[in-house]
């Protein structure tokens, strides 16, 4: 599933610059369907300005393609709608009407079914939210029919296929996901009169849990959610097809064209991976195509790791051993992270997560940039976020006798840390430690990682050394009088080397 997440450092092969304006995203969508053969494209109504004429433009620009490969059957356009936020529902209402108008358009152009039949609901923490969204959509559909149609025939097709898939984005909700999906899926079974062999999807976030709790808790929570949702589906009589929202760097999921076998094993049970901009544009095109084909071929073969009730309880305790160190450290680092993130260049037109049109992301009492900007800021400093809290957490896990459970549920941990560790700038950390005692805690993480995993962090190849030198320059620019465009250029140059902004 291709997404619009703006994490690419390099210029896409089909453009002259790295920024993709909203008006070019229709062409991008068509190109990805045709050239990369991705099966699905997530159209983001939540985090960015959206082209609401997407349906008309697609069919006008590629009518022959969609006559041969119907949208909604061979290829899929799925909307990520805004989160449920009390009275602020105007953007969700626009998405509803767009889905219904596209269903009318499909009839006009002779498509066999409605083009958009599924919405991802962000920040889901309870079954009440997707149930309420389904109810609201039905009310809007009834009003749409009353005004624009004389019979129920047009409405029945879209309602028959319409799905609201919860997107679960925080560690506590991932561990407690049964409390979300069981009542929701039971309500769907009651509505439909029994189970369907088409099964249910569930969308598990990977970036935001890491931002809020750290690398290891995010991975453990996703592994727990994969096991729990598979068990719930089995108990209710249908298969579950998890979607995993992942970026290219280890902190955001390690889903990139060079890491295919590792992440397919790590997240076995996942049926849809998000293919974000860095995956598509920071690697050679033949390698990207090969990796996407491998995902299509191999992901259905991988079986989820089933965890017992005791293992799930222990896993949540293990997660807490790491997150206890993460939150206070990130709270202390927030001013520096926000300063650097302000110079990370935009790659798409996105809404702010604060103020009138958004909602804030943060840790504890501080507000932070989105996960991409957050990750880019720390990598640009030469202190990859994968390393923060991990060393202290490993020591705590070792003391608690929980390393075997960690290795079983996070088998890619050492590989992830090795990959991130190549971009660690030991000199920057020493300089920062002189300025702020919070960096002494991160130095403790480095010692803990190297001691428990028996590895040495730091550059291994010439391009890693170049990355280290760029991050040293960034450090000194931050503490000089002038940074400006030069700082942004350095941030991009480092991102190109590691093949992702953040």
**Dist. CA 493–CA 10, nearest whole Å:** 9
Query: How much is the pLDDT for 361?
Result: 60
Give the C-alpha separation, 318 to 67, whole Å.
52
pLDDT of residue 359: 42
- Sign of the CA dihedral running 424, 428, 431, 437: negative
Alpha helices in 381-437 (DSSP H): 390-399, 403-409, 413-421, 426-435
Distance, in Å, from the CA atom of 350 to the CA atom of 346, rounded to the nearest integer, reads 8
pLDDT one-digit tens code per residue, 73-130: 899 999 999 887 654 566 688 888 888 888 888 877 777 788 898 999 999 999 999 9
Spatial contact of 501 and 8, defined as CB atoms under 8 Å apart: yes
Q: Could you tell me which of 177, 179, 159, 160 has the C-alpha nearest to residue 168?
A: 177
Mean pLDDT of the chain: 91
45 pLDDT band, cuts 50/70/90, is: confident
Q: Region 151-180: what's the mean pLDDT?
A: 83
Q: Specify the pLDDT at position 415.
A: 98
pLDDT at 354: 39
Tell me how far the alpha carbon of residue 457 is from its chain's centroid.
Answer: 26
Burial letters for 450-482: b for 16+ Cβ neighbours within 10 Å, e otherwise?
bebbeeebbbeeeebeebbebbbbbbebeeeee
The reported pLDDT for the residue numbered 86 is 54
Which residues lie closer than 8 Å to 266 by C-beta, 6 or more apart? 219, 254, 410, 411, 412
Tell me: pLDDT of 345 over 70: yes
CA 179 to CA 172: how far, in whole Å? 11
Nearest to 395 by CA among 331, 434, 453, 466: 453
Residue 277: CB atoms within 10 A of its CB come to 27
Q: What is the pTM of this model?
A: 0.94
Range 2-30 burial, b when 16+ CB lie within 10 A, else e: bbbbbbbbbebeeeeebbbeeebbbebbb
Greater confidence, 330 or 72?
330
Using CA atoms, how far apart are residues 199 and 195, in angstroms rounded to an integer?
A: 8
Whole-Å CA distances, 360 to 53, 123, 185, 363: 28, 12, 29, 10
Supply the pLDDT for residue 362. Answer: 63
Comparing CA positions, the residue from 274, 319, 302, 292 lying closest to residue 409 is 319
pLDDT surpassing 70 at residue 358: no
Q: Of 317, 191, 472, nearest to 490 (Cα)?
A: 472
Confidence (pLDDT) at 47: 62
Three-state SS letters, 118-173: EEEECCCCCCHHHHHHHHHHHHHHHHHHHHHCCCCHHHHHHHHHCEEEEEECCHHH
On the question of pLDDT at 493 being above 80, the answer is yes
For residue 73 the two structure tokens come to 């059957």
The whole-number pLDDT of residue 155 equals 53
Report the pLDDT value the prediction gives residue 363, as an integer from 0 to 100.
67
Percent of the chain at pLDDT exceeding 90: 75
Split at pLDDT 50, 70, 90, the class of 357 is very low
The structural domains of the chain, with segments of one domain joined by +, span 22-309, 311-498
Beta-bridge partners for 200: 240
The stretch 289-306 carries a mean pLDDT of 97
Q: Which residue has the higher pLDDT, 149 or 399?
A: 399
Tokens of 460: 């291994």
**Residue 157 pLDDT:** 61
The confidence score (pLDDT) of residue 107 equals 78
Question: Which tokens in the block code for residue 311?
Answer: 């293992």
Distances (CA, A) of 340 to 279, 306, 379, 458, 481: 23, 41, 10, 22, 14
Determine how β-strand 118-121 pairs with β-strand 76-80.
parallel
- The arithmetic mean of pLDDT across residues 327-340, rounded, is 96
CA 391/CA 137 separation, integer angstroms:
47
446 has pLDDT over 70: yes
User: In the chain, what percentage of residues exceed pLDDT 70?
Assistant: 92
Classify residue 237 as left (phi > 0), alpha (psi -120 to 50) or beta. Answer: left
Give mean pLDDT, residues 262-279. Answer: 98
CA distances from 45 to 53, 346, 444, 473 (A): 12, 18, 42, 38
Q: Give strand pairing partners of 120.
A: 80, 165
CATH architecture assignment, domain 22-309:
Alpha-Beta Barrel (3.20)
């Amino acid at each position: 599933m291709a997404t619009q997440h703006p994490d690419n450092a390099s210029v896409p092969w089909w453009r002259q610059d790295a920024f993709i304006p909203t008006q070019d995203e229709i062409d991008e969508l068509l190109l990805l369907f045709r050239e990369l053969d991705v099966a699905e494209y997530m159209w983001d109504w939540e985090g960015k300005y959206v082209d609401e004429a997407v349906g008309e433009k697609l069919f006008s620009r590629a009518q022959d393609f969609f006559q041969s490969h119907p949208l909604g059957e061979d290829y899929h356009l799925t909307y990520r709608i805004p989160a449920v936020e009390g009275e602020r529902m105007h953007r969700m209402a626009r998405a509803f009407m767009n889905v219904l108008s596209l269903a009318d358009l499909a009839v006009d152009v002779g498509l066999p079914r409605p083009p958009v039949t599924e919405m991802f609901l962000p920040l889901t923490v309870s079954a009440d939210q997707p149930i309420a969204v389904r109810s609201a959509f039905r009310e809007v559909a009834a009003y749409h029919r009353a005004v624009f149609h004389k019979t129920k025939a047009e409405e029945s097709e879209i309602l028959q296929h319409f799905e609201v898939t919860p997107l679960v984005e925080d560690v506590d909700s991932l561990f407690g996901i049964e409390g979300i999906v069981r009542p929701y899926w039971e309500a769907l079974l009651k509505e439909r009169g029994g189970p369907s062999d088409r099964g249910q999807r569930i969308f598990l976030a990977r970036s935001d849990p890491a931002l809020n709790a750290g690398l290891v808790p995010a991975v453990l929570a996703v592994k727990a959610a994969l096991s729990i949702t598979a068990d719930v589906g089995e108990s209710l009589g249908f298969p579950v097809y998890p979607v995993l929202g992942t970026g290219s760097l280890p902190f955001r999921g390690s889903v990139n064209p060079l890491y295919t076998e590792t992440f397919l094993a790590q997240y076995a049970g996942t049926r849809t991976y998000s293919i974000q901009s860095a995956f598509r544009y920071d690697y050679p095109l033949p390698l990207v195509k090969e990796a996407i084909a491998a995902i299509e071929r191999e992901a259905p073969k991988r079986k989820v790791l089933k965890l017992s009730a005791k293992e799930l309880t222990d896993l949540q305790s293990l997660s807490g051993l790491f997150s206890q160190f993460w939150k206070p450290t990130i709270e202390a680092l927030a001013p520096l992270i926000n300063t650097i993130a302000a110079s990370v260049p935009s790659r798409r037109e996105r809404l702010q997560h604060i103020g009138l049109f958004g909602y804030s992301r943060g840790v504890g009492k501080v507000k932070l940039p989105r996960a991409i900007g957050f990750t880019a800021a720390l990598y640009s400093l030469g202190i990859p976020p994968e390393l923060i809290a991990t060393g202290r957490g490993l020591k705590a896990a070792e003391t608690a006798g929980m390393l075997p459970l960690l290795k079983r549920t996070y088998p890619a941990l050492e590989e992830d840390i090795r990959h991130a560790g190549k971009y660690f700038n030991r000199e920057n950390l020493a300089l920062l430690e002189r300025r702020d005692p919070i960096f002494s805690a991160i130095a403790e993480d480095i010692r803990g990682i190297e001691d428990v995993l028996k590895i040495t962090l730091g550059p291994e190849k010439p391009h890693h050394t170049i990355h280290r030198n760029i991050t040293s320059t960034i450090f000194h620019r931050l503490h000089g009088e002038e940074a400006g465009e030069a700082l942004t250029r350095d941030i991009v140059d480092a991102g190109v080397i590691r093949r992702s902004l953040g």
